[in-house]
Chain A
Amino acid sequence: MKVALVIAALVAGVVMSLSLGARPVPLADIRAAVTAFDPSDPNHLVIRDLRLPRLCAALIAGVGLALAGVLMQAVTRNPLAEPGILGVNAGAGFAVVLGVYALGLSGAASWLAFPGAALAAAAVFLLGGGARAGSGGGATPARLALAGIALNALLISLISALVLMRAEALDVYRFWIVGSLAEAQMRPLLPMAITVLVGVVLAFASAPGLDALALGDEAARGLGTRTGLVRATVLLAVTLLCGGAVVVAGPIAFLGLAVPHLARMIASRSVVSTLAVALPLGPAILLAADVFGRVVMPPAELRVGTTAAALGGIIFILIARRMRPGEVT
């Protein structure tokens, strides 16, 4: 029932995203733009060239960030883990700034977000002891979280240093750092859709292992779980999901944090059902935030990074207020 509501919200978000904006497009024209495209109709052009790419970018980023948040919170056993806090977004940002600073790139620099996010995720995993097997030196939730927070701080200070030294880097960075879907048509949507899709498959594949890991490493291994393999799969999935999301939309705060908490309130306790709810919920919230940003002060628009953070913040405060002491959603 609740899942049906989430899916209905996603469908509503998709329709509003295509229809609303500086130039409202009636539903009939949306269908015609897909089935019988007429290049002379401005409504069709808006749908084809702007709104469909924007919708695709929102789906990619919404799914990527939401599932990455679920995986990170499960593998670190820390309800505050998310791509932002664990340094993945900072890694992407650092790579973009470095691209502008050292290579003189501007528009193409958003591509660099992918290797930046991937390297940051891998570094957190390695610094957190994720590669070491055994009960002695392996990854623990606290160690992973500390590694992520430390790396995040380091990368942000490096970004500050670079943008202070070069004005062009600052210009690119300050637009990039607040995620946006407005440049979606210029982003590599198809490769990132495939990337995120692979991440989704890996996320679901790692779910039973994560359920076992939630009982502690020893209990998980006693249940026949290969803990190193589960963590490595999660790392790869997080890398692909976050990487895909930041390339199409830039870093979007709070989505990766708030969606897993909401999803756990709707889903049952298992990771697989949380993932299944987060899958439509992430893009539904991102689309709602994006549509809101487009209609609130026309003809200008608020960047989705801003509205998503505001919406996510409100959701998160409501969740926190409903929690009893000691409880984690």
Chain B
Amino acid sequence: MRLQAKGIDVAYDGRRVIEGLDLTIPDGKVTAIIGPNGCGKSTLLKTLARLIRPTKGQVLLDGQDIHAAHTRDVARKLGLLPQSPLAPEGITVADLIARGRAPWRSLLGRWSPADTAARDAALAATALEDLADRPIAALSGGQRQRAWIAMALAQDTPILLLDEPTTYLDLPHQVDLLRLLGRLNREQGRTVVSVLHDLGLAARFSDHVIVMSGGKVLAEGPPSEVITASTLATAFGLEAVVIPDPIANTPLVVPV
């Protein structure tokens, strides 16, 4: 397994958010991290992405402490889409995607054929070819989020971490986006890890679910084993009945 956390404590603004957490991200699978607000799920994702340094313990990427490796080498293995990245004014879709090539470019920043290939593949995977020359500001919310995913794809990393990628989207666009992530996983073999809010969507579109509560992993495993009435009661304090989804047979949460 390529990405692991070993006994990490993480403090954020001087407050301990995560305590003694051990975690292994399954390779080649779609993983969702869920949990109530303030449970430390975004902090966990940022720690896995080396944006936050744990006060104790280590995050290991391919067996090496992620903070001991050169950040550029890490960026060739592990891509991150933050919750609210900034689009520079006037930037086009193609230009934004090109910025994902940063860790692969030389000091002088020469653009290579490999860069073009990666950019075009990212445009195709996200079905943005026709919008390549449009400014990001002119896109709809769903298209914009696809453009950011395309930027992360152009980074060409086997592991992709996404911090609440569906937050500002309506339901159809959330479903579109999660299907896209599923395709990237199946067709390109990428390991995908997202922080998600919607339990039903997390259950439906993930192979592996990590439930966090109070800075600890409460449960993890396949959705059908993890998303149960008792986990929901413990993690969220939510009284709910869990029934099988009539289409996919995955757990469906019905609040009482």
A residues with a Cβ closer than 8 A to B are 77, 134-136, 205, 207-208, 211-212, 214-216, 218-219, 221-226, 268-270, 272, 326-329
With known contacts A216-B82, A223-B155, A226-B71, A134–B88 Cβ distance under 8 A: no
Known: A218-B46, A222-B49. 16 other contacts (CB 8 A): A77-B86, A136-B13, A212-B99, A215-B85, A218-B51, A219-B81, A221-B71, A221-B80, A223-B75, A223-B100, A225-B102, A226-B71, A269-B95, A270-B95, A327-B90, A329-B89
Q: B99 near A223 (CB under 8 angstroms)?
A: yes
Cβ 8 A contact of B86, one of A205, A216, A326: A216
With known contacts A208-B102, A208-B105, A215-B99, A222–B72 Cβ distance under 8 A: no
Distance A205 CA – B106 CA, assembled complex (angstroms):
11
- Distance from A11 Cβ to chain B, minimum over Cβ atoms (Å): 26
- When C-beta atoms are compared, the residue in chain A nearest to B89 turns out to be A328
- Check B91 for interface membership: any CB of A closer than 8 A: yes
Q: A216 near B89 (CB under 8 angstroms)?
A: no
- What 5 pairs across the A-B complex have the smallest Cβ distances? A224-B75, A222-B80, A218-B82, A224-B72, A328-B89
Chain B interface SS verdict (over half): loop
Distance A53 CA – B220 CA, assembled complex (angstroms):
73
Distance A270 CA – B155 CA, assembled complex (angstroms):
18
- Distance from A139 Cβ to chain B, minimum over Cβ atoms (Å): 14
Q: Which chain B residues lie closer than 8 Å to A216 at the CB level?
A: 82, 84-86
Distance A224 CA – B107 CA, assembled complex (angstroms):
13
Distance A268 CA – B98 CA, assembled complex (angstroms):
13
Q: Which chain B residues lie closer than 8 Å to A221 at the CB level?
A: 50-51, 71, 80
- When C-beta atoms are compared, the residue in chain B nearest to A226 turns out to be B71
Q: Which chain B residues lie closer than 8 Å to A205 at the CB level?
A: 107
Distance A211 CA – B96 CA, assembled complex (angstroms):
10
Q: A269 near B75 (CB under 8 angstroms)?
A: no
Q: A208 near B80 (CB under 8 angstroms)?
A: no
Q: A219 near B88 (CB under 8 angstroms)?
A: no
Q: A223 near B102 (CB under 8 angstroms)?
A: yes
Q: A136 near B51 (CB under 8 angstroms)?
A: no
- Distance from B6 Cβ to chain A, minimum over Cβ atoms (Å): 21
Contact with A along B56-90 (1 / 0, CB 8 A): 00000000000000111111100111111111111
Give B1-49 interface residues, CB cut-off 8 Å to A: 12-13, 46, 49
Distance A211 CA – B101 CA, assembled complex (angstroms):
11
Distance A214 CA – B88 CA, assembled complex (angstroms):
6
Interface size class of B (residues with CB under 8 A): 35 or more
Q: B99 near A327 (CB under 8 angstroms)?
A: no
Distance A191 CA – B70 CA, assembled complex (angstroms):
36
Distance A136 CA – B46 CA, assembled complex (angstroms):
12
- Check B184 for interface membership: any CB of A closer than 8 A: no
Q: B109 near A272 (CB under 8 angstroms)?
A: yes
Distance A327 CA – B82 CA, assembled complex (angstroms):
24
Contact with A along B224-235 (1 / 0, CB 8 A): 000000000000
Distance A215 CA – B155 CA, assembled complex (angstroms):
14
Distance A208 CA – B75 CA, assembled complex (angstroms):
15
Distance A226 CA – B103 CA, assembled complex (angstroms):
11
Q: Which chain A residues lie closer than 8 Å to B83 at the CB level?
A: 218
- Distance from B146 Cβ to chain A, minimum over Cβ atoms (Å): 16
With known contacts A212-B99, A215-B85, A218-B85, A224–B80 Cβ distance under 8 A: no
* Max chain A C-beta neighbours (<10 A), residue from B82, B84, B95: B82
Q: Which chain A residues lie closer than 8 Å to B92 at the CB level?
A: 269
- Distance from B109 Cβ to chain A, minimum over Cβ atoms (Å): 5
Distance A322 CA – B89 CA, assembled complex (angstroms):
15
Q: Which chain A residues lie closer than 8 Å to B90 at the CB level?
A: 269, 327-329
Distance A270 CA – B89 CA, assembled complex (angstroms):
11
Q: A135 near B102 (CB under 8 angstroms)?
A: no
Distance A77 CA – B89 CA, assembled complex (angstroms):
10
Q: Which chain B residues lie closer than 8 Å to A134 at the CB level?
A: 52-53
Cβ 8 A contact of A136, one of B12, B50, B87, B95: B12
Cβ 8 A contact of A212, one of B79, B89, B102: B102
Distance A223 CA – B137 CA, assembled complex (angstroms):
22
Distance A215 CA – B75 CA, assembled complex (angstroms):
15
Q: Which chain A residues lie closer than 8 Å to B155 at the CB level?
A: 223
Distance A327 CA – B88 CA, assembled complex (angstroms):
11
Q: Which chain A residues lie closer than 8 Å to B71 at the CB level?
A: 221, 224-226
Q: B46 near A135 (CB under 8 angstroms)?
A: yes
- When C-beta atoms are compared, the residue in chain A nearest to B157 turns out to be A222
Q: Which chain A residues lie closer than 8 Å to B75 at the CB level?
A: 222-224
Distance A215 CA – B87 CA, assembled complex (angstroms):
6
Cβ 8 A contact of B51, one of A135, A226, A327: A135
Q: Which chain B residues lie closer than 8 Å to A212 at the CB level?
A: 99, 102
- Distance from B53 Cβ to chain A, minimum over Cβ atoms (Å): 8
- Distance from B8 Cβ to chain A, minimum over Cβ atoms (Å): 16
- When C-beta atoms are compared, the residue in chain A nearest to B137 turns out to be A326
Q: Which chain A residues lie closer than 8 Å to B102 at the CB level?
A: 208, 211-212, 223-225
- Distance from B7 Cβ to chain A, minimum over Cβ atoms (Å): 21
Q: Which chain B residues lie closer than 8 Å to A77 at the CB level?
A: 86
Distance A51 CA – B109 CA, assembled complex (angstroms):
38
- Distance from B96 Cβ to chain A, minimum over Cβ atoms (Å): 8
Distance A223 CA – B96 CA, assembled complex (angstroms):
13
